[in-house]
Amino acid sequence: MATQSKTANIKTADSQTTTIALRRPGQDSTRNAIILGIGLLIALAAPYVLYPVFVMKVLCFALFACAFNLLIGFAGLLSFGHAAFFGGAAYITAHSAKVWGLGPEVSILLGMGFSALLGLAFGALAIRRQGIYFAMITLALSQMVFFMALQLKFTGGEDGIQAVPRGHLFGVIDLNNSLSMYYFVLAVFLVGFAVVWRAVHSPFGQVLKAIRENEPRAVSLGYRTERYKLLAFVLSASLAGLAGGTKALVFQLASLTDVTWQMSGEVVLMTLLGGMGTLLGPVVGAAIVVTLESYLAATSMPVPVVIGAIFVVCVLVFRRGIVGELQARFGRR
């Protein structure tokens, strides 16, 4: 009897959540559309106002941060090794474009495929432990990738792979033109962002959130949480690879910087600063961090100290991040 009433209670609670969840998109859709529309306009106009390579860098890192956020924000998994997917894909893309002479779209897809496989391997290992161990395992595994990139022949060691040709998109559009390149990068970003949006707003995304909130309960409801976590990990790794491969073509360079633990930390910071678990947060965070870094590069201020200080401040007093804070203020979840 007691169990029955409990089940009933849970059911009511669930159905309430569902009603709320169903009502929300309706209320928010106009506002979302407006925000997205403005964002899109800014993105379309940006290369005429700002230095295109800079905006492309922002977009690549924004996609990278969105991919990372899919794990931490929606599945509650803190990966401290996402640089392995970002930088790994950059190497594969650069190698395919330069040595094998493949087109940009194929090169990027190859890089992304590599990251997906790497993500499958790392994810399968890392999801065997939870919480803090998950972070340490991903960090250690990505450090392994760093050492391999340092020692393998094709990565060029300290020099990296330089002078990567951007090539012609689908054999037609010349990407050496910085505007064409820009709109290509924007398209890549939008596709990646749409994938994240779709994943978060799907039943799959709901299960991820359930795992984040209470994994034992998700298990007791009959979900095989390992599979969901692994799928989220692979998806996140692939998107990080998409960002990394694109970045390799933008800068025509794949280097060790992209696979260091500092890079993994940077993407954590972007997401934290922008707002974990919000869709736009990582984009905002990436834009701020990239801008800040290019500004600091011109001064004599030590970049890691500033980055570290922002980290500390965010963790201590600003855990919701910018977008999270705005949403909390304007009463939106």
Partner 1 sequence: MFDLLGVPPQVLFGQLLLGLINGSFYALLSLGLAVIFGMLNVINFAHGALYMIGAFVAWLLLTKLGLGYWWALGLSPLIVGLLGVALEKTMLSRLYKLDHLYGLLLTFGLALIMEGAFRHFYGVSGQPYPIPDALKGGQNLGFMFLPNYRGWVVVASLIVCFGTWFAIERTRLGAYLRAATENPVLVQAFGINVPVMITATYGFGVALAGLAGVLAAPIYQVSPLMGTNLIIVVFAVVVIGGMGSILGAIVTGLGLGLLEGLTKVFYPEASNIVVFVVMAIVLLIKPAGLFGRER
Residue type, 240: A
**Contact criterion met (CB below 8 Å) for 127 and 137:** no
Q: How far apart are CA 105 and CA 102, in angstroms?
A: 8
Q: How far apart are CA 191 and CA 63, in angstroms?
A: 10
Least Å from the CB of residue 107 to partner 1:
27
Least Å from the CB of residue 202 to partner 1:
25
151 binds partner 1 (CB under 8 A): yes
42 binds partner 1 (CB under 8 A): no
Torsion of CA 130, 136, 138, 139, to 10 degrees: 160
Least Å from the CB of residue 14 to partner 1:
24
Site for partner 1 in 277-306 (CB under 8 A): 302-306
Question: In sequence order, what are the residues at sequence separation of 6 or more whose Cβ sits closer than 8 angstroms to the Cβ of residue 214?
Answer: none
318 binds partner 1 (CB under 8 A): no
144 binds partner 1 (CB under 8 A): yes
Least Å from the CB of residue 229 to partner 1:
14
Helix ranges (DSSP H) in the chain: 2-49, 52-72, 83-98, 104-126, 131-151, 178-200, 203-213, 215-220, 225-251, 261-274, 281-297, 303-317, 321-329
147 binds partner 1 (CB under 8 A): yes
Site for partner 1 in 189-248 (CB under 8 A): none
- Helix (H) or strand (E) segment spanning residue 171: none
Q: Which stretch binds partner 1 (CB under 8 A): 21-29, 30-38, 102-110, 315-323?
A: 315-323
Least Å from the CB of residue 129 to partner 1:
6
> For binding to partner 1 (CB under 8 A), which residues are involved?
78, 80, 125-126, 128-129, 131-133, 135-137, 139-141, 143-144, 147-148, 150-151, 261-262, 265, 268, 272, 302-312, 314-316, 319
